[in-house]
Amino acid sequence: MRIVFMGTPEFSVPSLERLIKEYDVVGVFTQPDRPKGRGQKVQFTPVKEIALKHNIPVFQPERLRKDNQSIESLRKLNPDVIVVIAYGQILPKEVLEIPVHGCINVHASLLPRLRGAAPINWAIINGYTRTGITTMLMDEGLDTGDMLLKEEIDILEGETAGELHDRLMILGADVLIKTLKALEAGQLKPEKQDDSMSTYAPMLKKELGRINWDKNAKDIYNLIRGVTPWPGAYCYYKGTMIKIWKADKIDEGDRSNPGEILKVSREGIEVACRKGSIIIKELQEVGGKRMNVAAYLNGHNLKSGEKLE
């Protein structure tokens, strides 16, 4: 089976590697190379690096739907299936109609819940205890196509979005291969999504990570986990921004002083929320390094009664 792969970030890599081992990957489409880091050095996408390693032709249109030359190149590749995983572009109808067996997408949620760009993060932010992978036949909508296969996993206690991402990208590769095997065997039974059950997982913005201490500890705890490692949860201490990498929570106790530091020790900094409290375990000042609370307190004299904003 001839496959064209469309994907960009690290999440897509395990699936591409599995496809290369088991199928004929005839082309890879990925986002254009972008400058990254402090030096703004142009870097290949993770998917491009894998494709070049295996001498697979790479195409990087800025906007595929407006690039007739790239669409014609795609037609000439004559794929039986196009596999799409976190590509970063919406496919036009003329692309969706090219492969004989359609375009199959691997999505990191249990559809129709959490359609959109950031389902892993929002599953944690919203307090879900289970999530998973759904493969689907793509249509012109945003994650609205008919579902093919699903596999569920538990979201572990204390798990961050980054940690869940790493588990789901491996599961995604497994479910993709199972989907393609079922396709070859004629065993797939597409299932329409119930749009009335759908929820949305929008793209993350940096300001999402700003902690509002007037919320309950459980919600703040979920936010911290859901935006780690990016964009990161943050607050301010005496005008200096502090990024919180790791925290625990105490659910009990209504508070009249949200944001007040209740207790300072080398094990953690306890901060009042509207209900309960957050115990900060790892943090980072702007321009500084990530460190545990014990290391941070060596150079900072936080006191009970002070406030985080």
Chain segment 215-242, per-residue pLDDT in tens: 999 999 999 999 999 999 999 999 999 9
State the pLDDT at residue 38.
72
State the pLDDT at residue 36.
80
* Tens-place pLDDT, residues 62-90: 999 999 999 999 999 999 999 999 999 99
Tell me the HSE value of 241 on the side-chain side, using a 13 A CA sphere.
12
Confidence of residue 35 (pLDDT cuts 50, 70, 90): confident
State the pLDDT at residue 255.
87
Residues belonging to the chain: 309
Asked if the model's pLDDT at residue 21 lies above 90, the reply is yes
What's the distance, CA 9 to chain centroid?
Answer: 10
Cα distance between residue 217 and residue 274, in whole Å = 7
**pLDDT > 90: percent of the chain:** 94
Tokens of 286: 């702007």
Confidence of residue 309 (pLDDT cuts 50, 70, 90): very high
Asked if the model's pLDDT at residue 253 lies above 90, the reply is no
What is the pLDDT averaged over residues 1-26?
A: 98
For residue 30, give the nearest of 54, 55, 49 by alpha carbon.
Answer: 49
What is the pLDDT averaged over residues 255-277?
A: 96
What is the pLDDT averaged over residues 251-259?
A: 90
Confidence of residue 254 (pLDDT cuts 50, 70, 90): confident
State the pLDDT at residue 56.
98
Answer yes or no: are the C-beta atoms of 308 and 237 closer than 8 Å: yes
Mean residue pLDDT of the chain comes to 96
State the pLDDT at residue 243.
98
Answer yes or no: are the C-beta atoms of 160 and 206 closer than 8 Å: no
* Tens-place pLDDT, residues 88-132: 999 999 999 999 999 999 999 999 999 999 999 999 999 999 999
